[in-house]
A and B are shown apart, each in its own frame.
Chain A
Amino acid sequence: MKRFSYALKQAFSQIHRNRNMSTASILAITAMLAILGIFFILMVNVNMMTANVEEQFDCVEIYLTDSMTEADGAALTEQIGGLPDVASAIYLSKADALEVMKTRWGDNAYLLDGLVSNPFPATIEVKATDIEKEAAMVEAIKTIENPGIEEIKYYQEEIDKIIKISEYIETGAIILIVVLILISMLVVSNTIKITVHAREDEILIMKYVGATNWFVRAPFLIEGIVIGFIASVLSTAIVGFAYYKCIDFFTPKFLAFFNSGLVPLEFIIYNLAIIFAALGICIGALGSILSMRKFLSA
């Protein structure tokens, strides 16, 4: 305990003594983590969107005209259900379609409450026994000549494209995240190196009078961890606030295009806080250990 409190006191006095360098490192890591956070948010949202798109469009939707009765719709559903390669066919009335939309929009469902009339058509959702047989199944459905069928929506190509794009985004984000982590480590390591350099004499004397490597290292290690942690708190606040603003701005647009909003703020903040804290601490600790390694080997 005495050892820890000594190291802690030393670490804080070091940070204070080198406050310009400490501030510079904190800002550099904060910027790095913030950029990293942007990629994280992008990745999470792309992932969610892809999953949503897959889930929503992994079936063929047959929109029915408003003139078709529910009984006719049910009969048509049954007919389609009997086609080869069809796994399931579910009939959704106009009211059902509105309900489904409300669930999908979640917290933002209130936006739908203002509608004067229900704009969603009655729909038959058809799923193929196998995703590869979807095209053949669609062809079979098209042969049914029923005036009640307004449109057959089949999105396979779009889904493939979206999945591909999301894969590119994910790979790119991961590469960038790794590069950013390495850069941050370099920044911390340089700060600590400068601190170590400034205290070269002190460390040398410490070693001469019999200080263990851990005695010398601990304050620097704590310094790195504190710098990393402060940067993580700052970047969580900055990115969290920016995302909060983005949600306000983008959610209505996203709902219109993708039928889903952005990933909720709480989820992002909670995860970012943990990821940033872990990364910040690791970057700080590793940065300081690396910068001291050469120094302590003597």
Chain B
Amino acid sequence: MIVFDNVTKYYDDKVAVEDLSMIIEDGEFVFLVGKSGAGKSTCIKLLLKEIEADEGTILVDEREVTGMPKRLVPKHRRKIGIVFQNFRLLPKKTVYENIAFAMNIVYASRRKIKPSVQEVLKLVGLEDKEKMYPDQLSEGEQQRVAIARAIVNKPTLLIADEPTGNLDPDTAWGIMELLQKINDAGTTIVMVTHAKDIVDRMEKRVIVIDDGIIVRDSKKGAYTEDEEI
């Protein structure tokens, strides 16, 4: 469970998020939408403890993130998988190595890494491409590898920061189906997006942020209010 309790963050004098409160339950699939600079990325950074909140409390799995000592941050991040818009794969590593490398961080043994990587590769539908390099894959496939890397350590929460931003609609939908599959397996998903059609079609909880404030939080929402289901 993720709890934001009256969280405020300033950048210099400018307010990024103000008095923001929300609760995301385990296993939920939530879209975080809003204009650029609305405060979505700030929320993600606060969750990952890349930045520190100025006021308020953030809890992830009942553990306070705000005020968490630096040495505990790596452990905290291991509970969170993250997928970026631009995939951020390592070009000189194969698909297998790109995923295995996330497991090296927890010093997993080779015996443990191999079946785990193969398992996630199967889940994302790339079991026959483990020896390929990122530039030999399509963009959709690259994002699948990035997702596989994000979930290989079995995080309880997956943050997807505009994961379909660089993809054509069909490929994007394939990624959404994959995220749904991961969500069905119990992983909480928080997805930042501008993709109206995807949000509308998925019919998930939508939290709209504008100027650092939650302006709408609807259980089975659409991208814009008038289309609310």
Contact = CB atoms under 8 A, between A and B. Distances in A.
Interface of A: 2-3, 6, 17, 201-202, 204-213, 215, 298
A293 to B, nearest CB: 14
Contact of B50 (A17, A206, A298): A298
A211 B82 CA distance: 14
B153 interface: yes
A209 B88 contact: no
Contacts, number: 50
Contacts of A215: 74, 105
A204 B74 contact: no
Most chain B CB atoms below 10 A, which of A202, A204, A298: A202
B88 A205 contact: yes
B77 A2 contact: no
B106 to A, nearest CB: 7
A208 B90 contact: no
Given A204-B88, A298-B50, A210 B104 contact: no
Contacts of A206: 101, 105
Contacts of B106: 210
Contacts of A298: 50
A208 B48 contact: yes
15 contacts: A2-B107, A3-B107, A6-B107, A202-B90, A206-B105, A207-B74, A207-B77, A208-B77, A208-B82, A209-B78, A210-B75, A210-B105, A210-B153, A211-B105, A213-B74
Name the prevailing secondary structure of the A interface residues: helix
B77 A209 contact: yes
A210 B71 CA distance: 11
Contacts of A213: 74
A210 B50 contact: no
B7 to A, nearest CB: 20
Interface string B68-98: 0001001111111110000010101000000
Interface magnitude class on chain B: 20 to 34
Nearest to A211: B105
Given A202-B101, A207-B77, A209-B81, 10 more contacts: A6-B104, A17-B92, A206-B101, A209-B105, A210-B80, A210-B106, A210-B153, A212-B74, A213-B74, A215-B105
Given A6-B107, A215-B105, A210 B74 contact: yes
Nearest to A214: B74
Contacts of B88: 201, 204-205
A208 B80 CA distance: 8
Contacts of B50: 298
A286 B150 CA distance: 33
Contacts of A2: 107, 109
B121 to A, nearest CB: 17
B102 interface: yes
A213 B74 CA distance: 8
Nearest to A2: B107
B46 to A, nearest CB: 14
A76 to B, nearest CB: 82
A284 B212 CA distance: 46
Given A6-B107, A215-B105, A298-B50, A210 B76 contact: yes
A212 B106 CA distance: 9
Contacts of A205: 88, 90, 101-102, 149
A205 B86 CA distance: 12
A81 to B, nearest CB: 77
A17 B90 CA distance: 14
A211 B74 contact: yes
Given A202-B90, A204-B88, A209 B102 contact: yes
A27 to B, nearest CB: 25
Interface in B96-152: 101-102, 104-107, 109, 149-150
Contacts of B81: 209
A155 to B, nearest CB: 66
Contacts of A212: 71, 74
Contact of B90 (A201, A209, A211): A201
Interface string B181-219: 000000000000000000000000000000000000000
A96 to B, nearest CB: 74
Contacts of A201: 88, 90
Given A2-B107, A6-B104, A215-B105, A210 B77 contact: yes
A202 to B, nearest CB: 5
3 tightest A-B contacts by CB?
A210-B78, A210-B77, A211-B105
A208 B50 CA distance: 9
A144 to B, nearest CB: 83
Contacts of A6: 104, 107
Contacts of B150: 209
B68 to A, nearest CB: 13
Contacts of B77: 207-210
